[in-house]
Structure 1
Amino acid sequence: MNRRFVNLLVNRLCAPRPAYRLHCIDPATLFYPTGSPQPADPAAINDSAPAPGRLPAPTISFDWPCKPHQSGWMDFMAFKNNIIAVDHEGRTLLYDTASRAVRAMPQTKKPNSRTISFTVGDGLYVMARENGSPPHSHYFQALIYGRPPGFLHPEDWHWRPLQQPDFDFPDNGDVPSNHKPGEAVNPYGFSAFTVYDDSQIWMSTVAAGIYSYNTVSGTWSKVHVSALPFRGRAEYVPEHGLWFGFSREDEQLCASDLAQARPVLQKVWEEPAPPERCSLMASHILPLGSGKLCVARLFQKTERGTLHPSGYTKAEHFAVLSGVEVFRAGNTGSLETIKHKSKRYSFGNDEVKLI
């Protein structure tokens, strides 16, 4: 498989000194062996409850970056098969998941706790998210190996500031007519994003459409007035020449051809509704190669407490990981999926993040 691990970071909020524990799950455990007989009723498997999963032991723990009870944060980003960690002061670490080695990286001057990151070529491109209505800036930088411009130092990793996007939002504050009142997607925030043609970073907003950053020329351009049909990150699956992600309206697994003049959803696969009292917190899709995907969904389950029935609730966090295989039907050529295995990993009241 192209991806070695599904990386889950667990933060023990109730611990005297919180730490982020990294659990690396082998995605091959989500699939039946090659050549296994196909299920007689795939729909029955799609609707079945996930099996309990057992977390592997943590491979590393990232300590809280400041003294107990002091405010601070850490942000984590996937960089190929490795992990980049940045704290509130900009201190940066690289963790190599293969060798289990940690390396100190250059400090960034513009740390941000809410980022979107992309691996393009050998660089990590990081965009800061900003809340609220425009005008506001989205600081954009890249972690690149080479010689910094204007310096004679030997080649090494360094943070390089990049041109920020200049979104053309409506002057009167109106949003497009296709935005529904009360829709969860902020019309001025990043509704969807992806990598296109191995060299372009596409950022999409409901109010301004799709913008592209060319990592070769270092410039931004507008692609389309309409937004991408996804919510969050979309991933390219070369075996089918399509981008896979989650639909903007209801976060169902879907596919689209972004090479079309106006990208629209070509296929949507509906998932069963979440269990009672469970809220979907995040959805992720991880391409594994050979048409296989890991679909990860993070949930929060709330229950009314017994000590204070009038208002106290307790929350349980859990993740459901599913192995999904995408293929073309032999008789019609239509795009179809088979769900192999689903596993549920429970974390109690600890916070969990997939990277």
Structure 2
Amino acid sequence: MAGSRRRQRDSALVAVYDYKVGYLVFRFSLKGLFSDESTSSLPQEVLPFPPSPVACFRRHPHCAGLMALVASPKGNKIVVATDSRRTIVYDTTKSEYSSGPDQRGAKPRPILVAGQGRRRRDMFLMTTYPDFSESGPQFEALRLQGGDHLRSLPVPPPPIGYDRRHLWGLGCQVSSYFAMGQRVWLSMKGEGTYSFDMARREWRHEGSWVLPLEDRAVYVPELGLLLGFKRMLFFCAYNITASPPVIRHQWRWSELAPSKHQKLADGLDFICPGLAYLGGGRFCVSWSTTKPRDDKMGRRLFALTAVEVSRSGGGKLQLCKRRSRCYLMSPDQTRGYVL
């Protein structure tokens, strides 16, 4: 993994939801987060957020204000899809916003997935609650080309036996999704798992099973495994080439969350884990507290944890948790996740 180690990012983009504004994106330094030094005897403190956000995406006054955000591997582009059918591209190096094409159909609680490798400029846009009785498109593709130009491409519906008895938000729900090469995989409760080839623009039914992971998972080519969170209690590694996928290892979330001995969040639980792969078997996991900290302003905590997954000489998976850092959010900020 030496080549991957050299390509690791030294910073991470984090999207934070502010209920008065919308989504703010901050850049956090990861310097020293993967240090091998023991932290048990080091003094810990709650750090302030970076002084100003990299970008601000304001919520529409007449919509729920839910957005899906993805960042390019180098962090120089941020692509956003909103529940008001807008798309936006932000160039972090130029500090410029560009409006993309309107979405081809409404996407309540949108999901945006970027491809891997040579398809990393291709994105797949969908809604968490597809309603196949509707005539409008439930899925579409976005392609970033020519700098900040975003192109929208139609996507045919998956080969599902459509049931018009599905009710919005009740009959069908995308429970987990990830990108593997040029394919985007998604599991839908009650429908099974499908993948879409973004190059050939074809669907494939992977099986009637549903991935036992929640929300966004990450496929790691170096390990040949899919990693993500199950029931928000376990961090799991799956062999996705098997059908249904076979679990290779799982770790309790407490092995990744900020340690109690750090005394950063006594009496508070960290939930809503976000996951970003940095290369070389290294991950950045983000957390938000379930309730405000015990202070006069009622502010929540946000945390980043460095985690490394590797194989032993005998091929066994092993997880090494490095350092955690906790940050104090403003009173209007409720949750954050790493992009």
TM-score w.r.t. length of structure 1: 0.73
Q: Contact 1:7–1:25 (CA<8 Å) still a contact in 2? A: yes
Q: 1:158-203 deviations in whole A, cap 9, x for unaligned?
A: 2122112243489999xxxxxxxxxxxx88311211112x111111
Q: 1:229-279 deviations in whole A, cap 9, x for unaligned?
A: 3222111122212111112x3431111110123212110111329877646
Change in CA separation of 1:337 and 1:225 when aligned onto 2, cut-off 3 Å:
same
Please report how far the alpha carbon of residue 126 of structure 1 lies from its aligned counterpart in structure 2 after TM superposition.
0.7
Q: 1:64-99 deviations in whole A, cap 9, x for unaligned?
A: 355xxx424362411423212345554432112244
AA partner of residue 55 (structure 1): F
Take 2:86 and 2:215, find their aligned partners in 1: how far apart are those partners?
27
Residues 51-200 of structure 1: pairs in structure 2 closer than 5 A: 51-62=45-56, 64=58, 70-72=61-63, 73=65, 75-80=67-72, 81=75, 82-87=77-82, 89-120=84-115, 121=119, 122-130=121-129, 139-145=138-144, 157-168=150-161, 188-196=172-180, 198-200=181-183
Q: 1:88-121 deviations in whole A, cap 9, x for unaligned?
A: 5544321122443333333334353511111121
Residues 20-35 of structure 1: pairs in structure 2 closer than 5 A: 20-32=23-35
Q: 1:260 is matched with which residue: 237, 242, 245?
A: 242
Q: 1:207 is matched with which residue: 180, 187, 190?
A: 190
Q: Contact 2:68–2:110 (CA<8 Å) still a contact in 1? A: no
> How many equivalent pairs are there?
310
Please report how far the alpha carbon of residue 319 of structure 1 lies from its aligned counterpart in structure 2 after TM superposition.
2.0
Take 2:19 and 2:233, find their aligned partners in 1: how far apart are those partners?
28
Q: 2:15 is matched with which residue: 9, 19, 41?
A: 9
Take 1:162 and 1:269, find their aligned partners in 2: how far apart are those partners?
37
Q: 1:284 is matched with which residue: 257, 260, 274?
A: 274
Take 1:299 and 1:327, find their aligned partners in 2: how far apart are those partners?
28
Q: Contact 1:193–1:204 (CA<8 Å) still a contact in 2? A: yes
Change in CA separation of 1:74 and 1:203 when aligned onto 2, cut-off 3 Å:
closer
1:183 aligned residue:
none
AA partner of residue 352 (structure 1): R
Change in CA separation of 1:88 and 1:208 when aligned onto 2, cut-off 3 Å:
closer
Take 1:61 and 1:145, find their aligned partners in 2: how far apart are those partners?
18
Please report how far the alpha carbon of residue 339 of structure 1 lies from its aligned counterpart in structure 2 after TM superposition.
0.8
Q: 1:29-53 deviations in whole A, cap 9, x for unaligned?
A: 4211xxx46x5xxxx96xx997523
Asked if 1:333 is matched to 2:315, the reply is yes
Give the share of equivalent positions with the same residue, in percent.
20
Q: Any idea what SS the aligned residue of 2:150 has? A: strand
Q: Any idea what SS the aligned residue of 1:272 has? A: helix
Structure 2: runs of 5+ lacking an equivalent = 1-6, 258-264
AA partner of residue 88 (structure 2): L
Q: Any idea what SS the aligned residue of 1:22 has? A: strand
Q: Contact 2:302–2:336 (CA<8 Å) still a contact in 1? A: no
Please report how far the alpha carbon of residue 293 of structure 1 lies from its aligned counterpart in structure 2 after TM superposition.
0.6
Take 2:132 and 2:86, find their aligned partners in 1: how far apart are those partners?
29
- State the structure with more CA Rg: 1
Change in CA separation of 1:291 and 1:50 when aligned onto 2, cut-off 3 Å:
farther
AA partner of residue 178 (structure 2): T
TM-score w.r.t. length of structure 2: 0.76
Q: Any idea what SS the aligned residue of 1:239 has? A: coil
Structure 1: runs of 5+ lacking an equivalent = 148-154, 174-185, 307-313
Take 1:278 and 1:7, find their aligned partners in 2: how far apart are those partners?
24
Change in CA separation of 1:101 and 1:112 when aligned onto 2, cut-off 3 Å:
same
AA partner of residue 25 (structure 1): F
Q: Contact 2:113–2:123 (CA<8 Å) still a contact in 1? A: yes
Q: Please tell me the root mean square deviation across aligned C-alpha atoms, in Å.
A: 3.7
Change in CA separation of 1:252 and 1:187 when aligned onto 2, cut-off 3 Å:
farther
1:178 aligned residue:
none
Change in CA separation of 1:213 and 1:303 when aligned onto 2, cut-off 3 Å:
same
